[in-house]
Amino acid sequence: MLLTQSKIIVTGGPTREWFDPIRYISNASSGKMGVALADEAYKKSRDTVFIHGPINEYYIMDRPYRCVPVESTADLLAAVLAELSEPCVLIMAAAPADYTPVARSGEKIKKSDGDLVITMKRTPDILKNVAEIRKSRGLVDIFVAGFAAETINTEEYAVKKLKSKSLDMICLNDVSVEGAGFNTDTNIMTIFTAAGERIELPMQSKNLVAENILRQIEIGLSQRG
């Protein structure tokens, strides 16, 4: 399986989970890392698609690859599954919301003297769904790279996610560290592979981080034989 002969699916940015017509639950992801990865992926394969949540349109202006906008985590899952095929590489750099309101009000929830309590439920686990589909359909020519944005017990959580989601690789960044958080132009990354390798990327531009991640994916694919 060669990267140059594979479809590359990159996801990036946040998702939004609306609880009334004007307000939503989301996070601070800018999508910059996802855009950098999609740019680098396109250098490797012209069959590159970037599935992104709500991000600044300037970031994807005049990009040569296909861009697919989504809103919610459920939308992101549907878009990823629609693109999944063999051979392909999935780079899950998006930061989807983990919870969504159980009910969405059709009208603006008015301010009152009391507290506002919103009951939430889990959103679909995209990487878990992909792992189950790979297993049930016997898909072997798919390489999945996940991302973990953590603040505590970072390596423990990243390795746990690598194994529990049957990933080929996971890219960890501690978003509590200056220069590695959301909406920055730099990142600090530690890559863990299913083969047990650990690769540290010091602080560098997100473009350079993306280049190094794609290089590690190529190495991972070459090790498959």
pLDDT 10s digits, 7-63: 999 999 999 999 999 999 999 999 999 999 999 999 999 999 999 999 999 999 999
pLDDT score of 30: 95
Provide the whole-model pTM.
Answer: 0.95
Question: Is it the case that residue 109 has pLDDT exceeding 80?
Answer: yes
Q: Mean pLDDT across the stretch 201-223?
A: 96
Q: What is the dihedral of CA 35, 201, 91, 147, to 10 degrees?
A: -100
Element (H, E) at 190: strand 186-193
Q: Using DSSP, state whether 79 is helix, strand or coil.
A: helix
Please, where are the H alpha helices in 138-205?
Answer: 154-164
Task: Using only the alpha carbons of the chain, give its radius of gyration.
Answer: 18
Q: Which residues of 130-140 are buried (b: 16+ CB within 10 A; e: fewer)?
A: bbeebeeeeee
Q: Using DSSP, state whether 169 is helix, strand or coil.
A: strand
Structure tokens at 21: 């017509």
Residue 182 pLDDT class (50, 70, 90 cuts): confident
Residue 113 pLDDT class (50, 70, 90 cuts): confident
Which CATH number, 3.30.70.580, 3.40.50.300, 3.40.50.10300, 3.30.565.10, labels domain 3-104+115-222?
3.40.50.10300
Which residue, among 40, 225, 53, 69, has the nearest Cα to 145 in the 3D structure? 40
pLDDT score of 198: 96
Q: Mean pLDDT across the stretch 60-67?
A: 96
Residues forming the active site:
27
Q: Mean pLDDT across the stretch 59-75?
A: 97
Question: Is it the case that residue 78 has pLDDT exceeding 80?
Answer: yes
Mean pLDDT of the chain: 95
pLDDT 10s digits, 156-177: 999 999 999 999 999 999 888 8
| Percent of the chain's residues with pLDDT above 90 | 87
Which residue, among 193, 194, 81, has the nearest Cα to 127 in the 3D structure? 81
Q: How far apart are CA 54 and CA 144, in angstroms?
A: 23
Question: Is it the case that residue 88 has pLDDT exceeding 90?
Answer: yes
Question: Is it the case that residue 104 has pLDDT exceeding 80?
Answer: yes
Say how many Å lie between the first and final Cα of the chain, rounded. Answer: 8
pLDDT score of 225: 62
pLDDT score of 149: 87
pLDDT score of 93: 97
- The mean-pLDDT minimum among 82-86, 127-131, 179-183 falls in 179-183
Question: Is it the case that residue 125 has pLDDT exceeding 90?
Answer: yes
